[in-house]
Structure 1
Amino acid sequence: MNLFAEIEGINYTPFLCRQLNEYCLSDLQRAFEKDGTFILTLNKNNKFAISWWVSPKRTRSYPYARVYDSLFFQGKRVTVIPVLKDEGKDGDRDFLQWDTISLMSLLGVYVVIAFYKDTYKNPRFKNKITNQRFDFKYLKTEIERLSFYQSDAFHWNMEQIKKISELTENALQCYEKISKKLKVQLHSDEEVNKRINEILNEKNSFLNFSRNLAKCAQIRQTHTVQPKEKLSGKKASLTIKNYLGGCYFFTSDEVIIKEPDTAFLIESRHSKNSILPSMNDIEDGLIKMILYTNLKNLRINDKEYRNISMLKLTSEKSLEIDKIKNQNLLNSLYEEAKKNNFFVRLNDRDLKEIVNIE
C-alpha cells in the first residue's frame, strides 16, 4: 500500500517535553556528558534548545525523543548530528542521510552537522571504540555563528549540507588518529570515499542518493514486521511532499482503510516487560504524530482520503490502570492528543476512556 500526502507547515503543541537543564556555552562539553537535550545560554539575548544524536542512524538511542524534548522551546531549536559514526570493525558504521535533514527542516529544527574527535577503546572487543566525543571547538564556532543567523532552519540546513564533504574528511582524519592511538582497526575508507564521490561533492547528488537509500529501507520495512511490534493493520509506504517541493519517505506501522474515504495512520510502540512503553518510545512515536496530524491531501492510489492519526501503545502485560505509576503521563498524553487532534490507544482501549475513568 502506497500513500502520498503533502505538508505545508507544522502546527503542533507538545505536552510531554522534559524539564531541561540549562548550561552556558563554556560548559558545552559537560552539557553533552550530562544530557541528551538541554538549554544553552550564549548571552542574555540568545538561548538555544540543544539536542544531539549519538549516531546519524535514526533507530539508535532515541534521537527523535531528544528532539521532541526541545520542541516546547520558543527560540531556536538545534540538533547536533554526526556526519558518520564508526564504532570499529567489531561494531557498526552509520552515515548521515538527507531524509534526516529534511525532517528536521520540516520541524523547524536547525541542524549542526558535526564529527567525533575523541573516544575510548571498548574493553570487551579488540576492534571497537565507545563513548565518542565531538569536536567541541568546532561545535562552539557553529553555535556562535548560528546565534547571528537570521534565516529559517531550512536555509541553514541546506548550507550545512554544502559542508558535508569537508566534515566527512575531518571525521576520517580524526578516526585515523584514533585508530593509531588506540590500536583499533576501523572500517575501510573505501566505502566512505565512495559515498563522498557519490553524495558529498554535489548537494543534489547527496540528496538523490540518500533518498534512494531511504526508499530502499522503506520498501524493506513494508515487508517486515519486527518482533517487538504488535500490529493488526497493514504496513504502508508514505511519501510526503513539502511546500518546497522536496519528497521524503516513511513507513507507517499500520494503515487501516475505512471506506468510503477514511484512512487511519497508526504509529505503534510496544513493550514486552512493562504495562506501558518507555517515555522515550512514546516521545519517539509522537514525532510521527507531529507529521501525521499536519498531512494534507492524503491519497491512496490517486483517491483522496480523510486522515485520522493514532498512536497505539501495546504491551505483553495486561492493562491494569491502578498499576501504572505515572498517571500524570497518561493525563498529559491525553491532553496532547486532544489539543493536536489525534487518538491514543492502550492495547485495545481508548486513552480518553481510561483518563475519564480515573
Structure 2
Amino acid sequence: MCGRTACTLAPDEVCKACSSRALDSKGNKQYRAADWRDHPGNHNYSPRQNVAPTSFTPVMLSERHVRGVKRQSEGEEVPSKYVIQPMMWGLIPPFYKGPSATGHGFKTNNCRVEDIEEKKSYKPSLLKGQRCVVLCDGFYEWQSTKGEKDKQPYFIYAPQPEGVEIWNRDTWDKPDVWSAEEGWKGPRLLKIAGLFSSWTSTEGEEVMSYTVVTMESGKKFGELHHRVPAILETDQDVEDWLDHSRLGYKEALANLKNETEITWHPVSKSVNNSRNQEGDLMSPASLDQKPKETASSKLMASWLSKAPPKQSGIKKEPTTPDSIKKESQAASVKKEVKPSPLAKWLKKEPKNEKE
C-alpha cells in the first residue's frame, strides 16, 4: 500500500527532473524539461515532506494524451514529450455525484492491480487510456512484518546519483544542477504507475484526481511490507505506461513489476502524524530514536516541569533556617511524652526491708 509520500521539489525542479532528450529545431540533441500545466481553479501544489491523500501533487501525462498529436512546423519549438500538472491524490469515482470532491466516502488512494479491471471506480479510466505517472521524492511505509503495535516508519526512494542525498538539498541544489546539454543532475524522483480521471461537481467545479497502482511485494520489499506501489524503473517503463495509443491496458498491466531497484531507511516517528511538516522527516534516523519534539510537546514538558508536586492538600512552606529550627524544636517537644501512672509506679525505688 501507499498512504504517505514526500514531494519537496518546486514545480520547475520537478519539470527538470523529468527531462527528456530530443532533437531541437536545429536538429541538435538536447534535453528538454517537461511542461507544467496548472490545475483548473485554485488547486495548487505545495512542496511538502509529509503528503497525505486528498493533497494535490505532481502527476506526469503524455503530451499526446493531453493535447493530441501535434506536428512541428518549420522553426517552431519542439513540444515537450511529457506534461506535468497537480492532481488530487484519491481518484474520484466516475459514478459519484455531489458538491465535494472528497465526499464520496471511498478509499481510492490505492488500487490493487489484481482487481483493477473489475472495480467500477477504476475500469473507466483503464478503458479511456487515462494512465499517468505519480511523481514523488519517495513514500513512507510502516513495517508490518514484525507484528509490533508501535510500527517503525521507513522512507522508500529510488537509488540516487553519487553524492546526492534526496533528503538533503545541500548535496544537490547547485547552479548547474540542470542544463540543456547535460540534463538533470539532481535527485532521482520515484515514478509510480497510476490512473487518473476528470470529475465535475454538481457546483460545476472541475477536479482531476489519481490513484496509485499497487501489487504484491517481491521478495526484497516483502521484508518490509506485503504490498508495494507499481514502480516504473526505466524511461522505457514510463513511456510504455503512458503511451496508451500504442500499448493496450492489458499489456501495460502485464508489464508492471514488483521487483525494482529501490532503497529505504528508518525515519523519525514524527512522520506518523500527517500534520507534522517540521524537522528532517525524510532523513535517516536511529531505530531507537524518540519522536522529535514539536512546539506543543515542548510546551507541555515545560508546564509539567514547573507544576508543584501533589501533597494531599497540605501546603508545604519554603525551607528557611528559622523553619528548620522550629521543626527541630517541635521534634524535641514531641519526644517529651509524660509517663503513664504504671510507668511512674515501676520507676519507684523499693523500700529496704527490716532485718
The structure carrying a bigger strand percent of its residues is 1
Q: TM-score, normalised by structure 1?
A: 0.23
Q: Which has the larger radius of gyration?
A: 2
The structure carrying a bigger helix percent of its residues is 1
